Amino acid sequence: MNEEMNSLHVNNTWILVPKPANCSVVDCKWLFKVKNECESVRFKARLVAKGFTQKEGIDYTEIFAPVVKFTTVRIMLALCAQFNWELKQMDVKTAFLHGDLDEKDAKTPVFLLIYVDDMLLISPCVKTVEHVKNCLSAKFDMKYLGDAKRILGMNIFRDRKNSVIFLNQISYVEKILSKFSMLDSKPVNVPLAGHFLLSKEQCPKTDHDVNSMKNVPYSNAIGSVMYLMVSTRPDIAYSVSCLSRYMSNPGIIHWNAVKWLLRYLKHSLNYSLKFAKCKDGVKLKGYVDSNYANDRDNRKSTTSYVFTLCGSCVSWKSQLQHVVALSTTESEYIVVTEAFKEAIWLKGLISELGFLDGSVVVFSDSQSGIQLCKNPVFHDRTKHIDVRFHYIRDIVAKGLVNLEKIPSEFNPADMGTKCLPVSKFLTCLKILNFDTGD
């Protein structure tokens, strides 16, 4: 606490002023945390503002903190494994600080991935990393942690000899299982079984049923596994998407499905994203799929896509489509639209980093959807489709993204649209270079 207060005073974090009229005061509170850093323990104290007491548009208009997207982290780890770059880590002791650095004398590139006070340094050159480390340390109060081992609850394990990087959340999964008393549960080998035909009809309808579910930590469980899914686990994207639809009024069947997912997490405790050197070089590939009208409540279809870079999974999504598709062709057309938007963003980022010349290839198992994307003629059966979905025809015409056919059995996006048999589910993971510990 003394270190925190000293840091606040030394850096002139605030000045005392008279309270402005008609303004509310934001209180503060202490937060304490025991942080594990590279096999050492550090006690941290933070004096923070109670921002949750503010109302948007009244007490503030915008907020900002430097946070890197998880997708960007995974992209950089894929490139790091591909080119055997240096991967180091630093911790900013005073996260509220900001400043301008004007260092232009470094001869090789360096990438800084910043999430508030956690930082990854990636560069082809050891001397460049050392130079940047010294510049940052001279400007800010920072701690150098050496080889990156853990960031944002994700464990980083590197086998540099074999050009492989593993990213997992084993300790986080164990924490989840312990929190919801599932450490001793019986493991299952798929995230969601086919007999869970979930719908709103299974939500509580009487006061007695509602009260019986009040003490069930459904929302907490969904929030916990959602962070896991966003970070390192595309294999649970479909199940989390399904289960999150009932957070406002879950029933006992929905809770049983959550416990099934937790049992799967116990089975898949050691699963990891694997980034390895790819003989094909820096290639960005996408896979798309949809499940037509599979939602039992509103008959909306499910969108699923995954993208790989250098053969490793870097981006994924599974969610209900925002509109009701009137045919399988239309639902496939919509998912391609969503995937193309992600492909353009990924292509822009990777190209800006100095890689990925040429177009991106996206694979679909729907021949009719592919033809609709490439055909500029409106047919009677498709003229009702919202105009915003037709922009993908321009993307295809310009050659920015190519849409190609792939057999259904080789489409890993399939696991984001439905419950799959174990063999097909494991095949999807294998295509994505997902490490299951086998």
238-252 pLDDT tens trace: 999 999 999 989 999
Q: Is the model's pLDDT at 263 over the cut of 90?
A: yes
Q: What does the pLDDT read at residue 280? A: 87
Q: Is the domain of 287 the same as that of 246? A: no
In eight-state DSSP terms, residue 32 is E
Q: Are residues 348 and 415 in the same domain?
A: yes
pLDDT-derived band at 166, boundaries 50, 70, 90: very high
The reply to whether 293 and 387 lie within a common domain is yes
pLDDT over 90 at 375, yes or no? no
**Per-residue pLDDT band at 384 (split at 50, 70, 90):** low
| Element at 369 (helix H, strand E) | helix 367-374
pLDDT class for 407, splitting at 50, 70, 90? very high
pTM value is 0.84
Are 342 and 315 contacting, i.e. CB atoms less than 8 angstroms apart? Answer: yes
3-class SS letters over 220-265 = HHHHHHHHHHHHCCHHHHHHHHHHHHHCCCCCHHHHHHHHHHHHHH
* 168 occurs within a structural domain: no
131 in any annotated domain: yes
pLDDT (tens digit, 9 = 90+) per residue, 322-336? 888 888 888 888 888
Rounded Cα distance between 337 and 391, Å, is 8
Both 112 and 41 in one domain: the answer is no
Are residue 92 and residue 115 in the same domain, yes or no?
A: yes
Do 403 and 320 share a domain, yes or no? yes
CA-to-CA separations, 365 to 20, 275, 361, 438, in angstroms, rounded: 62, 26, 13, 28
For residue 200, what are the contacts with CB-CB under 8 A and spacing of at least 6? 246, 249, 297
Verify that 218 and 356 share a domain, yes or no.
no
Q: Which two tokens stand for residue 151?
A: 């960031």
The three-state secondary structure class of 300 is: coil
Tokens linked to 435: 């490490």
Distance CA 228, CA 273 (A): 12
Is residue 373 a part of any domain in this protein?
Answer: yes
What is residue 344's three-state secondary structure? helix
User: Which of residues 162, 197, 216 is at a domain's end?
Assistant: 162
Q: Is residue 320 part of a domain?
A: yes
Q: Is residue 170 part of a domain?
A: no
Identify the residue with better confidence: 359 or 213.
Answer: 213
Q: Which of 267, 288, 321 is the last residue of a domain?
A: 267
Residue 394 lies in a domain: yes
The pLDDT tens digits for 112-160 are 898 877 889 999 989 999 988 888 888 777 888 899 998 888 999 999 9
Domain end position, chosen among 53, 70, 93: 53
Task: For residue range 190-231, list pLDDT tens digits in order.
Answer: 999 988 899 999 999 888 888 889 899 999 999 999 999 999
Residue 418 has pLDDT above 80, yes or no: yes
Kindly state the DSSP code that residue 278 receives in the 8-state scheme.
-
Integer Cα distance of 368 and 370 in angstroms: 5
Number of domains in the chain: 4
pLDDT band at 318 (very low <50, low <70, confident <90, very high): very high
* Cβ count within 10 A of residue 226: 16
Give the C-alpha separation, 75 to 155, whole Å. 16
pLDDT at res. 398: 80
Amino acid of residue 258: V
Answer whether residue 306 shows pLDDT above 60: yes
Residues 315 and 355 in one domain: yes
Q: Do 308 and 385 belong to one domain?
A: yes
Give the residue numbers spanning the domain of 239: 182-267
Sign of torsion over alpha carbons 14, 16, 22, 25? positive
CATH code: domain of residue 379: 3.30.420.10
Q: 362 and 394 share a domain?
A: yes
Give the pLDDT score at 357.
66
Q: Which of 313, 263, 246, 254 is nearest to 285 (CA)?
A: 313
Residues 354 and 406 in one domain: yes
Question: Same domain for 285 and 419?
Answer: yes
Min mean pLDDT across 120-129, 159-168, 363-372, 424-433 is at: 363-372
